[in-house]
Structure 1
Amino acid sequence: MRFPLQFICSLLRLYDSTTSVLEDLAIKGSNYSQRVDVTYALKALISFEFVFILHLMKELMRITDKLCQTFQQKSQDIFSATCLVSSTKSLIQNLRDFGWDALMENVRSFCDSQFIEVPNMSSSFSDIIRSHHQKDSVTVGHHYHIDVLNTSIHHLLKELNNRFNEKAIELLKLSTNLDPKYSFKLFNVWHNCSLVEKLYSSDFSDQENILLESELQHYEFDVLKDVSFQNLSTVGELCQKLVETEKSIAYSLLDRLLRLVLTLHVSTTTTERAFQL
């Protein structure tokens, strides 16, 4: 499948060809209605606003493309994916804080190559759109910088934060740490205990947190090296195997933790769905 970034890049690469085809259709269209529609589309295509938004979308898609591709994979490393979520948010925020000048330079360069007029960023935006609803004090630069760039980034970050809030990410990290897949490669006693204290403060007392750390240390040397536990692929299978071998008795606090983690499908439905898109 084609990803959004590829589509935007293709549109920019074929911009000359597209405008040429529309110009021809605007003159030689089969009927008046078609010529009017094409003329309207062409006018929009060669406008500064269209070019600005196209380049803005390219920058946003360039940042989110890796995350998008990761979500398309059938087999996903959730830990790596959550790290990508964090870096994606940071890069988007960096675009908002420091990316305006570079973005405008790219837009101006493209407009110059296509003979598209670049409006004076200091002029009143109401003069351009001829609207009495727009305050005269709002400049063209303010409109594109604040109303378009910053607003677009705000909505994108809001969507990412809604889908991948901090607690949901930490729950998924804990689930991944305990996952027996790949021979428990991400298991870490200290990290697990830290997440348990933060996420399950009402499910484990202070004394139980201390005992859980001890259990996890023994578990690391006992269960993780047990051949019968090496071919498991899910937390559910791990929990079942602990019961079958009666190790759930020796590691009762861990068994409780695993059962809590199994409720992830209920508590983080939105986040997990995003990973399965």
Structure 2
Amino acid sequence: MREILGITNKLCEALQKKDQDIVNACQLIRSTKAQLLDYRLEGFDSLLKDVTTFCDKYEIEVVKMEDEYVDPKNRRKKTNITNRHHYVVNNFNTVLDMQIQDYERRFNEVTTNLLMLMNCLSPCNSFSAFNKQNLLDLAGMYPYDFNIDEKDKLKYELGHYIYNMKDDTPFANLNGVGDLAKRMVETRKHIDYPLVYRLMKLSLVLPVATASVERSFSSMKHVKTDLRNRMGDGYMNDSCICFVERDLFQQVSVEDVMQRFQKMKSRRQQL
């Protein structure tokens, strides 16, 4: 389990970042899958060597891999398999297959392609990742948000959009799609390019619906503990917001909080 968690830890940390680059996340997904597959095919011998070294160091008896496996629940019954077969097939491969299947379910080819297509909206390096055909394919993955006429208009709108964005100084040196969407609203470009802006909003929903939600559920474990398991939904929601967005709340002074509560209603004593 230490080896498996070591392989998957990098991807888990990356998905928890709010400003994670999409291309980097896709590359980490592919490399994590590949390493798990390699470990499944070639990792048991190295694991057995480490276990044997550990057992020799602390004088623990090691079973011989070539001997017949004995079921501890029914020692009299013949198993007709070796210890190596039991530990490789029934334990090692089973655990890794569960991990690999879970990654395939969560990060299938469609999801990975969607993430790669989303990256074409990135404004980094003067919109170097822009690709009109990929963005049209991305719009095709949202049939309920773009009808046939809008998809046809989007093709021409993207041409005007990229031409103007590259020459517009306010859109230089942006760090992500989120910053790009904010700048479009500030400059009222979202009115000139409504279909492109709609595509941006759809793209921004996906990270919020994955990593942000996972972070929120992880935060609930810290807020609603065994000692506070009867917490109401309203209080838990407020506490979770404070915990998840603690970077923002650290900028709020204690004095401002006290004044806020003081003005909510009349109190006998001044806070």
Partners in 2 of 1:164 and 1:254 — Cα distance?
Answer: 26
Q: Normalising by the residue count of structure 2, what TM-score does the alignment of the two structures yield?
A: 0.62
* Residues 1:122 and 2:59 are matched in the alignment: no
Amino acid at match of 1:217: G
* Residues 1:257 and 2:199 are matched in the alignment: yes
Amino acid at match of 1:193: L
* Residues 1:145 and 2:88 are matched in the alignment: yes
Partners in 2 of 1:77 and 1:200 — Cα distance?
Answer: 22
Q: Which position in structure 2 is the counterpart of 1:226?
A: 168
Partners in 1 of 2:171 and 2:78 — Cα distance?
Answer: 68
The answer for unaligned runs of 5 or more in structure 2 is 219-271
Change in CA separation of 1:213 and 1:244 when aligned onto 2, cut-off 3 Å: same
Partners in 2 of 1:135 and 1:274 — Cα distance?
Answer: 46
Alignment RMSD, CA only? 3.6
Q: Which position in structure 2 is the counterpart of 1:10?
A: none
Q: Normalising by the residue count of structure 1, what TM-score does the alignment of the two structures yield?
A: 0.61
Cα pair 2:124 2:176 within 8 Å, conserved = yes
Measured after TM superposition, the shift of residue 153 of structure 1 is 0.9
The answer for unaligned runs of 5 or more in structure 1 is 1-56
Higher relative contact order (CA 8 A, sep 6+): 1
Return the match for 2:139 from 178, 190, 196: 196
Change in CA separation of 1:138 and 1:254 when aligned onto 2, cut-off 3 Å: same
Cα pair 1:168 1:271 within 8 Å, conserved = no
Secondary structure of 2:70's counterpart equals helix
Q: Percent identity?
A: 37
Return the match for 1:85 from 9, 22, 29: 29
> 1:240-262: per-residue Cα shift (whole Å, max 9, x none)?
65466554455343233224334
Change in CA separation of 1:174 and 1:133 when aligned onto 2, cut-off 3 Å: farther
Partners in 2 of 1:169 and 1:272 — Cα distance?
Answer: 18
Secondary structure of 1:116's counterpart equals coil
Partners in 2 of 1:63 and 1:232 — Cα distance?
Answer: 32
Change in CA separation of 1:87 and 1:108 when aligned onto 2, cut-off 3 Å: same
Structure with more helix by fraction: 1
Change in CA separation of 1:210 and 1:107 when aligned onto 2, cut-off 3 Å: farther
Partners in 2 of 1:79 and 1:118 — Cα distance?
Answer: 45
Amino acid at match of 1:230: A
136-145 or 70-79, which deviates more: 70-79
Alignment of 1:1-277 (within 5 A): 57-71=1-15, 73=17, 75-126=19-70, 129-131=72-74, 136-180=79-123, 183-197=126-140, 199-201=141-143, 203-204=145-146, 209=151, 211-230=153-172, 235=177, 238-239=180-181, 241-242=183-184, 245=187, 247-248=189-190, 250-264=192-206, 269-274=209-214
Measured after TM superposition, the shift of residue 192 of structure 1 is 2.6
85-94 or 233-242, which deviates more: 233-242
> 1:81-133: per-residue Cα shift (whole Å, max 9, x none)?
22101210111012112323333233334434443322122333225x25359
Partners in 2 of 1:210 and 1:94 — Cα distance?
Answer: 45
